[in-house]
Amino acid sequence: MVDKGDRFEILVDLPGAKKEDIEVSVEGNRVSISTKVKEEKEAKEGEPVLHSERSFASYARTFELPAEVTDVGAEAHYESGVLKLTLPERASATTKRLPVH
């Protein structure tokens, strides 16, 4: 996770995951990432099967950022087993003084 000043950039390794199986949710400053990985090795037709393997795994990670983020301008890209999140920091509420007339 890298703080770029106005946004956070997060890289997550998710080897074997499919893009459509990755779920990312953001609420305030909390980010949750989860996925399920299914791997099956099959023998080709006509080959004698001596060993067959299937594996299933699920991954989940939740963490808090030092500041709240907004979904406006947020991006999630998955390529070659790496999920890259770009989460813009929410503008902090400022206190304004109102003139009394």
pLDDT tens sequence across 25-77? 999 899 999 999 888 776 666 777 777 778 888 999 999 999 999 888 899 99
pLDDT at 43: 64
Is pTM beyond 0.85? Reply is: no
Instruction: Say whether pLDDT at 100 is over 80.
Output: no
> 63 Cβ partners below 8 Å, 6+ apart?
1, 30, 31
CB 74, CB 87: distance < 8 Å: yes
Domain count, the chain: 1
String of b and e for 38-77 (b: at least 16 CB within 10 Å)?
Answer: eeeeeeeeeeeeeeeeeeeeebeeeeebeebbeeeeeebe
CATH number at residue 6: 2.60.40.790
What long-range pairs does 45-49 form, CB within 8 A, spacing at least 24?
none
pLDDT at 79: 94
Q: Is residue 98 part of a domain?
A: no
Instruction: Say whether pLDDT at 3 is over 80.
Output: yes
> 91 Cβ partners below 8 Å, 6+ apart?
70
Q: Is residue 49 part of a domain?
A: no
Q: Is residue 11 part of a domain?
A: yes
Q: Is residue 14 part of a domain?
A: yes
Q: Is residue 80 part of a domain?
A: yes
Q: Is residue 35 part of a domain?
A: yes
The two tokens of residue 93 are 């509420």
Q: Is residue 47 part of a domain?
A: no
Q: Which of the residue ranges 32-36, 74-78, 85-89, 90-94 would you say has the lowest mean pLDDT?
A: 90-94
Q: Is residue 17 part of a domain?
A: yes
Residue 77, domain extent? 2-42+55-88
